[in-house]
Amino acid sequence: MSTFLQQTVNALVLASVYALIGLGLNLSFGLTGLVNFAHGQFLILGGFIAYEIFRATDSFVAALLGATIAIAVLGVITERTLFRRTYGRPEAGFVASLGLLFVMGAAFVEIWGRDPHSIRPPVSGSVTVLGAIISLDRLTVVILGGLMLALVFAGLRWLPIGRRTRAASEDHTAALLCGFDPLQCGVVAFTVGAACAGFGGALLATAFPFTAYAGYGYVVKGFVVALIAGLGSIPGVAIGGLLLALAEVYGGAYLSSPWSAGFGYAVMLVILLVRPRGLFGSVRAA
């Protein structure tokens, strides 16, 4: 039981990061039909910015807020200067996001090198639950990640601009017929999605060492989460992130550690075989 609880907490930590990546991907896809393959690099840049701010201030709060705001601004800039020019042309958006993916990856190597980076967790110590020793830093990541997701979901549900953005993301045609401004919704979607990536990057830096190359892997995880949830589905990313993380962690712990990622992909394939649009996908998302 103690091992099971420890692995469950590990899965929740991963699920928090995965869901934050998947949320940004699904917001942008629902509005523009664009899968932003550079989104994983936004996450890693958030981690590097948090690392630099933490080195300068020794404050996790400053690092977390600084990374979130900086990547949100980056989301606005890339939407205005790059991705807006590709709206209605998914193939152009695909090429643009791939180019940004590789440019950012190369820049990370030049600036921060190839060595792993991390920052000191904001809390230390552990608690014992049913015989399982669970570190407080892992619990902090889970709580903060859950709060961020809850905050974003609440904003998309209750704020007027959030409701318009969510409606446009889940049914673009209907939103246009209702008179919603797609460009305004696009800015909101990219800003919120990028902020989530920056926030997730700062959390990632406290939980796992990361390198300049980590973004390539995390964007794949985010895409898997989006497929499990259903492309364009906003609420489904939390469930998608949890299912992917549970499959990887439990599969790696109890079946075969080298195949941990494969168990997550297997869950995705099974879900897509049963529900080709994902668990919560709409007809448009197909």
Cα separation, 279 vs 8, whole angstroms: 22
Fold category of 2-274 in CATH: ABC transporter involved in vitamin B12 uptake, BtuC (1.10.3470)
What pLDDT score does 133 carry?
79
The domains of the chain are located at 2-274
* pLDDT, tens digit (0-9, with 9 covering 90-100), for 12-53: 999 999 999 999 888 877 677 778 889 999 999 999 999 999
Print burial letters for 80-115: b (CB count within 10 Å at least 16), e (below 16).
Answer: eebbeebbeeeeebbebbeebbeebbeebeeebeee
What pLDDT score does 85 carry?
84
- Token representation of residue 84: 């807006």
What pLDDT score does 283 carry?
47
31: closest CA among 244, 155, 192?
A: 192
What pLDDT score does 1 carry?
64
Q: Which residue numbers in the chain have pLDDT < 50?
A: 283-286
What pLDDT score does 136 carry?
85
What pLDDT score does 26 carry?
85
176: closest CA among 168, 165, 186?
A: 168
* pLDDT, tens digit (0-9, with 9 covering 90-100), for 230-266: 876 777 899 999 999 999 999 998 888 888 889 999 9
Kindly report the number of other CB atoms within 10 A of residue 41's CB atom.
Answer: 29
